[in-house]
Amino acid sequence: MFGLVDCNNFYASCERVFRPELEGRPVVVLSNNDGCVVARSQEAKALGLKMGVPYFQVKEEYERLGGVACSSNYELYGDMSRRVMWYLQQRAPAVEIYSIDEAFLDLHGMQRHFDLAGWASDVRGAVRQRTGIPVCVGVAPTKTLAKLANRLAKLANQMANSANPGSGVVVLDDEEQRREALAQVAVEDVWGVGYRSAAKLHTAGIRTAAQLAGVGDAWARKNLGGVVGARMLHELRGLPCSSVTVEDEARKSLCCSRSFGQVLTRMEDVAGAVATHATRAGEKLRAQVMAARLMTVFIETSRYGNTPPPYSFSAQLTLPTATDDTLVLAGWARRGLERLWRPGMRYVKAGIVLDGLERAGANQQAALFADVACSPERTKLMGALDALNKRYGGGAVRVGAAVKTAGQQEPWGMKRGAKSPAFTTKWGELWQVRC
């Protein structure tokens, strides 16, 4: 059996743990630069706020109704997620952290020793008690069905009232329960059914998960992405096709990018943002003991303004040797930016993507020309850089291009007007209580 634990309205719930005044009120969390609604509490959903809606469109009415908006506080969400996942790892034999607020549990063999509904309910209560985060749990013979069970648990909880409180747990362990559950779920809500598949299925008259499970394998192979589609059907029928993967496989690429807090037109300002991303990318590489061989630098102009398309420009660079050196990365990023810079445009976003990642130090050929970036001194320098930034907070020591004169605001910095403090991760922003 598999379990899926999914945190309810995760970002909004995190905001509430340390701010009890938000309890019972509509809470939304906004995307970077306070642009769009990316998370909603139950009360905000009940007001009809849609996911992804630009906040300025709904702000006035929403705040009049007593709603609260929070800028995204990823430090807090990351730490709360770590606590939830850590606890799940204590309880389940194997845990696959699927996203910041979701984890698959491998419950293989456990049904012989535990009543799984009781066990899941106990885990749910403990996560709530220990972290303050409400979760729902779905348990079923396959991952796809566990996802579906979780969805049903969420729906039941949303409909809950004092007469009929939702348990937050749905277990599908016999054939009849499975069939009943499938009949309740729309086909577009099945894990793995995308927009395009959903449209195809609707055209073919397939509306529910139950109907989907009854489709022939050949039809699925032809219309739902080959083997992937066939596997999804098997999983819906209760035959597991994928297991819980505990190890996070070494990643093949990484990306650092962010929208600016304001439109930028000067190359030096954008270069500062790019240098910041290169610095961050170097840190991430070193933390994973990886080195990169390919770099893509990209900048975007506003998609909505009156600038003509294309709105995105990118430059690919092949580095002479795989590197994890911040200064080398920043240098190449700068060259990439110079290559794709078009003056007179209004830029809103920049980023860099690193590909061709390999283990740092692996297959490094002896360089024909002495390469300063591979020297032991440089490795030590990078170690010292990471140690300083860890000790004094990210960005304490940076490359020159990413530094603004003291007192000046970074023009590429984010707008986060309503960010709650990093209650659990920053000494200076520690959670405050009265006594």
Partner 1 sequence: MDQVILLGKAYPLLSAHPLPMVSALLSCGFPSPAGDYELELVDLNRLMLRHPDASFLARAHGQSMTGAGIHDGDVLAVDRSMQAQDGDIVVACVEGEYTVKRLSQRVDSVALVAENPAYKPIVVRNADDLRIFGVVVLVLHPLVTEGRRGLSYVRPQ
Residue with smaller CB distance to partner 1, 93 or 417: 93
Helix, strand, or coil (residue 294): strand
Written as six digits, the tokens of 302 are 């506003």
Residue with smaller CB distance to partner 1, 150 or 424: 424
> Using the rule CB under 8 A, which residue among 36, 45, 122, 132 binds partner 1?
132
Residue 419 CB contacts under 8 Å (≥ 6 apart), including other chains: 70, 71, 72, 73
* Position 177 contacts partner 1 (CB under 8 A): no
Q: How far is the CB of 165 from partner 1 (least distance, A)?
A: 14
Residue 276 CB contacts under 8 Å (≥ 6 apart), including other chains: 395, 398, 402, 410, 412
Burial class (CB in 10 A: 0-12, 13-18, 19+), 156: middle
Go through 383-418 and write b for each residue having 16 or more CB atoms within 10 A of its CB, e for each that does not: eebbeebeeeeeeeebbebbeeeeeeebbbbbbbee
* Position 431 contacts partner 1 (CB under 8 A): yes
> Using the rule CB under 8 A, which residue among 11, 62, 87, 119 binds partner 1?
87
CB 286 within 8 A of CB 360: yes
Residue with smaller CB distance to partner 1, 163 or 435: 435
Q: Which stretch binds partner 1 (CB under 8 A): 124-132, 135-143, 226-234, 295-303?
A: 124-132
Residues in region 133-162 near partner 1 by CB under 8 A: none
Alpha carbon 11 to chain centroid distance?
Answer: 11
Go through 125-138 and write b for each residue having 16 or more CB atoms within 10 A of its CB, e for each that does not: eebbeebbbbbbbb
> Using the rule CB under 8 A, which residue among 129, 365, 405, 409 binds partner 1?
129
Residues in region 53-82 near partner 1 by CB under 8 A: 82
Q: Which stretch binds partner 1 (CB under 8 A): 90-98, 276-284, 287-295, 370-378?
A: 90-98
Distance CA 31, CA 95 (A): 28
What size, in residues, is the chain?
435
Q: Which stretch binds partner 1 (CB under 8 A): 63-71, 128-136, 148-156, 335-343?
A: 128-136
Residue with smaller CB distance to partner 1, 18 or 219: 18
Residue with smaller CB distance to partner 1, 56 or 86: 86
H or E segment and range at residue 286: helix 267-287
Distance CA 159, CA 424 (A): 33
Written as six digits, the tokens of 197 are 């598949």
Q: In the stretch 346-375, what mask flags binding to partner 1 with x, by CB under 8 A?
A: ------------------------------
Residue 42 CB contacts under 8 Å (≥ 6 apart), including other chains: 8, 9, 158
How many residues bind partner 1 (CB under 8 A)? The answer is 32
> Using the rule CB under 8 A, which residue among 131, 144, 323, 326 binds partner 1?
131
Q: How far is the CB of 244 from partner 1 (least distance, A)?
A: 10
* Position 423 contacts partner 1 (CB under 8 A): yes
Residue with smaller CB distance to partner 1, 132 or 192: 132
CA 318, 286, 80, 417: dihedral to nearest 10 degrees? -60
Local structure of residue 160 (DSSP, 8 states): -
Q: How far is the CB of 175 from partner 1 (least distance, A)?
A: 25
Q: How far is the CB of 426 from partner 1 (least distance, A)?
A: 9
Residue with smaller CB distance to partner 1, 218 or 433: 433
* Position 89 contacts partner 1 (CB under 8 A): yes
Distance CA 262, CA 364 (A): 41
Q: Which stretch binds partner 1 (CB under 8 A): 18-26, 161-169, 282-290, 313-321?
A: 18-26
> Using the rule CB under 8 A, which residue among 36, 47, 94, 294 binds partner 1?
94
> Using the rule CB under 8 A, which residue among 20, 205, 343, 400 binds partner 1?
20
Written as six digits, the tokens of 6 are 């999914």
* Position 428 contacts partner 1 (CB under 8 A): yes
Residue 427 CB contacts under 8 Å (≥ 6 apart), including other chains: none
Name the site residues for partner 1 (rule: CB under 8 A). 18, 20-21, 23, 82-83, 86-87, 89, 92-94, 106, 109-110, 112-113, 126, 129-132, 423-424, 427-428, 430-435
